Amino acid sequence: MRRAPANAGTEIAGWSIPGDGGQRFAPLQCKTRDLSLLNPGVAHVEPHVTAWAQEVGLLSAEAVEQAHRERHIAFAGRVWPWAPPERLAELSRLALWMFAVDDRSDARGDDSDAVDTELQAMTRIVTCTQDVVPEKAPGTVRVLAEVVPRLADHMSPAWSDRFRQHLAEWIDTNRDMIRRRVERSVPTPHAYVAWRRVSGAVGWCFDLTEYAQDAELTEPVWSSPACRQLRDTAADIICWTNDLYSLGKELRTGETTNLVLILQHHHHLTLQDAVNEVHRRLSLRITELPAAVVSLQTTALAMKLTVQEQAAVDRYVDGIRAWARGFLEYSQESARYAEAPVTPTTAGLRL
């Protein structure tokens, strides 16, 4: 999830951006159910996982301070609120890794080649094309070599394969961002929406929702059109919200991978009109989420699942809702988005 820089200089409610001619943009109005969940294990897990991250070379002392300030482990506690402590610890390790990779991928100039090489090394570990990790490998690579096999031990072969595939695809989207930054290329809106569902990390994070709640979906359920629709709907809600939060950063750094900026470019809109259009699309997706939930539940009932398999579907639906809600909560409380130009407010929309 992309971070607004500390020197962003934006105002929060009805925001303006330096150099934008004084334009101001209304914040996203977002209604959510009166439900705020934070895993109670966060306070216990955080010091242990943070110390581990320093030991394996993932985080420097400065990065540890950033992780505390931006509440990276609380992110895991928000989006996986029911994970037991030992599983929350593993999820938190990957959350720290995700934020570290995300920030590394902001590299420019000569650093871009080094980061690209590092990302390729991560992909080799995730896809099992490299078994031995060099002693001097970056912390981001060593983390994957340690944590991913432990997670896979709890998964069936099919589940493990899709988790690893989704993780590798997310790593590759970071390479895409570096390339697009150099080329100054702007994807089409249609291509961007599909790509953003991957670059938002929700694919492999949704796989870990099953791990967090010890409830693997059967392959027919997971691969059904109804389940795909639920994942896509929730992913769009999460990713487009993130695009609104990170818009100030992308405007300042010249990024092109943001739905607001893509719509502005391709449809020749003012920035305000592009923001309004993302609001409209996001609001529509939010209203479509309940129907996607019902569709999956109906599909699962028609499959004549066992009691345990049906319970897994119910927990998965709860987990996806919690992920969407938890991401909103995290974005509102994290210093990562403290200077964000668009601030969602919550009050009544059911996620």
The DSSP line for 23-60 is -EEPPPB----S-----TTHHHHHHHHHHHHHHTTS--
pLDDT-derived band at 136 (thresholds 50, 70, 90) equals: confident
At the topology level of CATH, where does 22-337 sit? Farnesyl Diphosphate Synthase (1.10.600)
pLDDT at 92: 98
* 227: number of Cβ within 10 Å: 23
**DSSP state, residue 337:** G
Helix (H) or strand (E) holding 16: strand 15-16
d(CA 126, CA 20): 43
Task: Name the residue ranges covered by the structural domains of the chain.
Answer: 22-337
Helix residue ranges, H only, 80-188: 85-104, 111-126, 139-152, 157-183
Work out whether the CA dihedral 269, 340, 325, 97 comes out positive or negative: positive
d(CA 202, CA 206): 6
* 287: number of Cβ within 10 Å: 12
The two structure tokens encoding residue 130? 């490299």
pLDDT at 235: 98
**DSSP state, residue 341:** S
Residue with token string 């394969």: 161
Average pLDDT for 308-317? 96
| Better pLDDT: 18 or 168 | 168
**What pairs with residue 16 in β-bridges?**
24
pLDDT-derived band at 266 (thresholds 50, 70, 90) equals: very high
Which residues contact residue 26 at a Cβ distance below 8 angstroms, ignoring those fewer than 6 apart? 14, 275
Average pLDDT for 237-246? 92
State how far the alpha carbon of 48 is from the alpha carbons of 22, 39, 55, 129, in Å. Answer: 46, 16, 11, 31
Residue with token string 């791990």: 211
d(CA 130, CA 24): 50
| Better pLDDT: 107 or 276 | 276
d(CA 327, CA 319): 12
| Better pLDDT: 145 or 336 | 145
Work out whether the CA dihedral 315, 215, 44, 90 comes out positive or negative: negative
Residue 185 has pLDDT above 80, yes or no: yes
Average pLDDT for 51-65? 96
pLDDT at 350: 44
Average pLDDT for 148-152? 96
d(CA 295, CA 2): 32
pLDDT-derived band at 249 (thresholds 50, 70, 90) equals: confident
d(CA 186, CA 194): 14
Report the amino acid identity of residue 174: N
d(CA 23, CA 59): 38
pLDDT at 238: 96
Average pLDDT for 153-160? 96
Query: In 3D, which of 92, 334, 69 has the Cα closest to residue 344?
Result: 334
**DSSP state, residue 27:** P
Residue 21 has pLDDT above 70, yes or no: no
Residue 87 three-state SS: helix
| Better pLDDT: 24 or 278 | 278
Average pLDDT for 320-341? 84
The two structure tokens encoding residue 15? 């925001």
Q: What is the pLDDT of residues 111-130, one digit of tens each?
A: 788 899 999 999 999 998 87
Q: What percent of the chain has pLDDT over 90?
A: 71
Lowest average pLDDT, out of 121-130, 167-176, 234-243, 276-285, goes to: 121-130
pLDDT at 129: 81
Per the confidence metrics, is the pTM higher than 0.85?
yes
Lowest average pLDDT, out of 10-19, 161-170, 333-342, goes to: 10-19
Report the amino acid identity of residue 65: E
Residue 110 has pLDDT above 80, yes or no: no
> b/e per residue, 310-325, with b = 16+ CB within 10 A?
bebbebbbbbbbbbbb
Residue 20 three-state SS: coil
The rounded mean pLDDT for the chain is 86
